[in-house]
Structure 1
Amino acid sequence: MKTKFNKQRQTIIPSVYTFLFLMVCFYSHAQLKGGHILGAMGLQSGTQTPENTLSVYVPGYFYTASSLRNADGDNSVANPDIDMTITGAGASYISKFKILGANYGASILVAFAANTIQGNNLNAKNDLAFTDMYVQPVQLGWHNKRADFIFSYQLYLPTGKFTAGASDNSGLGMFMNEFAAGTTLYFNDKKTFHFSALASYEINGEKKDTNIKTGDILSIEGGLGKTFYFLNAEKTVPKSILNAGLIYYLQYKMTNDKIPLPVIGVVEGKKDHVGGLGAEVNYFHIGCSTSAGFRWIAEVNAVNRFQGNTFFLTLAHVFSFKKE
């Protein structure tokens, strides 16, 4: 009996340590995703919309991964079956109220997501479902002759379904706080040539019912573009506006992910990063106060994360409360 127990013990203990070793190896290379959606900002990302307006919009975010890159940036998984979709309805209000010379604004987005990517896990399969909510209680915008500036604070609420280890989570299961600041620079008096950059810093809390914590994330987005005005038949006032140009984004994990494991302790995953370059076209019809925008970004130089293509479609209607 004692011999049998010793044999079982000799079999179980190496298996446990092998399991823990594999877990450490997996998690040390795994990366956890934050709430910031790359591609949501592009041309004139440092510019606030006009004051005394309410914008109601419907976003469509589509991400398809073409590969999974390892810590050296090499292709570790070719053609992973990962395609993420986000849609919903949002609203943004910019008031006449001034704070430090800037217009105050706020926005909200109620969203639904399918195949929510939580990290480098290939097993992300959920139908379109209610996901984490985006709330921006503070947005400040300044407008100068040759430059615009913007500052904002936003948070992501863990309203989506989340269970640690599940493959069908629609949310990330954590509170996320984010601060952003940016500018749009104009190269001519008519403000038709412009370059923008918006930097966002995301601070993440622990995931629900765990001690797992996603590292802080820095995202930089913007673009170089040209604005075209199309005049009415009398050529006195513009009837529509077209904005087009090249856009980019960069994202860096600034602090390590922390994943506690039994016996071993806290494992810190290596930091990931990615870049992207693409194009954007926006069309705004002044008479209908309606706009449609499309962005496409091809990712490059990904390390410890998926690399693929981002598509972003936005339809919006602007209600103006300005007196004629």
Structure 2
Amino acid sequence: MKKIITLALGLFSGMAVFGQGHYNGSSFNPNDYFAPHAGWIIPVWYGYANMDYYNAAGNRSDQLINPAPGNPTELHIKQKVITHSFILMAIYSGKGKIFGANWGMMVIPTLNSPTANIALDYYSSQTGSGNYVFTNKSIGFGDMYIQPIWLSWTKGKFSYAINYGVWAPTGKYKPHDLDNGGHGYWSHNIRVAGKTKPTPRTNITVATTLEINQWQKDTDFKEGSHFTVDVGGTYVLDSRGDEVGIFGNYSTQVSDDKGTNGGFASDKIAGIGAFGSYWIVPMKIGLMGRITQNFGAENRFAGIAVQAGVNILIPNSH
């Protein structure tokens, strides 16, 4: 039975000359890589994130080192970047099978305040050394995620999934603009996942995601590709489907940036977190809470993120 679906809000919208693509590890809960086969699911989420910058040595720093040609070699930056995000998801899982698999589709529009990646874009676009503070408090539309291919197979205690999704640059983007809400480029996510059930109430999941980015609008920049490994486990508490779980991830850049505006410094990040879900009305209306702590970051902002949401499930009619 499919449980509540959520994303790590506030972490994946925003852009940067030092951009890290759209997808962040553990954006999904461990069971959410597999098509729900349950009709319509309409989640509404709020997310809060508090981020600090970590340099190439993995140390928290207020100095941004930027080896890109034409940019300053050092900037002093405001350390904490606090963001807020809102997401309305629309998920549909159809009847029948495709190639013997359960199937579904997903659309995720985002509304967010400028994120840590946008702050990093602002800092890295400065033209002289000195002290800079990112103070934008506006809220606007971010980029939209569309997942038209979502197939999953189950055989005994094992499940497998293949997903393809694309991030469309629907958020506002203008080079070096403080008010940006999107990346300004398309990103393709190719994902393969597997799950096993050691006991009837437990699941263990491993998923891998390759993100391939296109050239950025109105700039000579193409963000390198990233590879992410997500792992996690869940435990069903009762017959209602209430659930708790843990998750972790590791993401690293696997190809170089291209273009004269690239950051030319690879990035990486890891994270660990936990979630819980509770059905107010079993399998119809539910609540979800999540917390994620990042660590091991290099050339990125990282910190803590908290999400809370309401989930509405509308089953297929029989």
Fold match by TM threshold 0.5: yes
Q: Of the candidates 13, 26, 43, which is equivalent to residue 30 of structure 2?
A: 43
State the Cα distance separating 1:86 from its structure 2 match.
Answer: 2.0
Max Rg structure: 1
Partner residue, 2:112:
113
Name the structure 1 match of 2:252: 252
Q: What does 1:64-143 align with in structure 2 at a 5 Å threshold?
A: 64-65=50-51, 67-77=52-62, 80-118=79-117, 120-121=120-121, 123=134, 125-143=136-154
Query: How far has the Cα of 1:306 moved from its partner?
Result: 1.4
Give me the whole-angstrom Cα distance separating, in 1, the residues matched to 2:275 and 2:108.
22
Cα offset, 1:320, TM superposition? 0.6
Using the alignment, how far apart are the partners of 2:24 and 2:280 within structure 1?
Answer: 27
Q: What is the match of residue 220 of structure 1?
A: 229
User: Secondary structure of the residue that 2:215 maps to in structure 1?
Assistant: coil
Residues 107-135 of structure 1, C-alpha deviations (whole Å, 9 max, x = no match): 11121110133363453735111111111
RMSD: 2.1
Secondary structure of 1:57's aligned partner:
strand
Aligned residues: 276
- For residue 274 of structure 1, report the CA deviation from its aligned partner: 0.7
Q: Distance in 2 between matches of 1:180 and 1:291?
A: 27
Aligned to 1:270: 265
Asked if the contact 1:115/1:124 (under 8 Å) is kept, the reply is: no
Q: Which residue of 1 aligns with 2:313?
A: 318
Q: Tell me how far apart the structure 2 counterparts of residues 307 and 118 of structure 1 sit (CA, whole Å).
A: 10
SS of the residue 1:258 aligns to = coil
Deviation by residue 1:137-192 (Cα, 9 ceiling, x = unmatched)? 1110112221222111111111111111112101111111111111221102x2x1
TM-score by length of structure 2 reads 0.80
Q: Aligned to 2:266, what secondary structure does the other structure show?
A: coil
Distance 1:91 1:249 in 2: 25
Deviations 1:270-303 (A, max 9, x none): 2111111121111234546112211111111111
In 1: Cα distance, 2:266 partner to 2:212 partner: 15
CA contact (8 A) 2:141 2:181 kept: yes
Gaps of at least 5 residues in structure 1 are 1-29, 230-237, 262-266
CA offset at residue 106 of structure 1? 0.5
Deviations 1:221-258 (A, max 9, x none): 231221111xxxxxxxx3x2221122112211111222
Larger helix percent:
1
The AA in structure 2 aligned to 1:72 is A
Whole-angstrom distance in 1 between the partners of 2:211 and 2:154? 26
> For residue 227 of structure 1, what is the amino acid of its counterpart?
V
Structure 2 unaligned blocks of 5 or more: 1-16, 64-77, 124-133
For residue 280 of structure 1, the aligned residue among 249, 253, 275 is 275
Equivalent-residue separation in structure 2 for 1:43 and 1:139 (angstroms)? 15
Name the % identity.
Answer: 20
- TM-score of the two chains, using structure 1 as the length reference: 0.79
